[in-house]
Structure 1
Amino acid sequence: MGIDMTADYEECRRNLERLIAWYEPAHRNEANTRFQVIDRLFFECLGWSKDDVVMEEHHAGEYADYSFNAPRRICIRTQG
């Protein structure tokens, strides 16, 4: 549960370097930003397992973009 400890640190670091080299400020809508940047950061660079994430979970009258099990639920809402 939580961060995938089988994810190799060096592989994640290389993925982050590639993401940084690729990234250019651009006019992206929220969905494209999440897909092209934020999802890659969480899953390719930080090693989170997609099995431990719930997308668009309802919480306190709003929706969290990401809810991670770590081991308790952590909600992340991006501003878009």
Structure 2
Amino acid sequence: MTKILTAAALFLPLCLLGACGDTTGDRALSGAGIGAGVGAVGGLLFNAPLEGALIGGAVGAGTGALTNRNQINLGRPIWR
């Protein structure tokens, strides 16, 4: 149960960053947040939500940085 709560605590706030994607930096940050959240939940399968969050964040950030606004654009960041 503790691992599920840990994953949820990582998943929810990180996925809130998903509402951004106007620039390359915004997409990288958004991808990192979404990837970390999903990685935390996926990490539960291996009893490693924190490690899953780190791997997912890295992969998501890389994916976001390598895309352009024609491929993915989730709108303006919520902090702007």
TM-score by length of 1: 0.34
Higher relative contact order (CA 8 A, sep 6+): 2
Q: Decide which structure has greater helix share.
A: 2
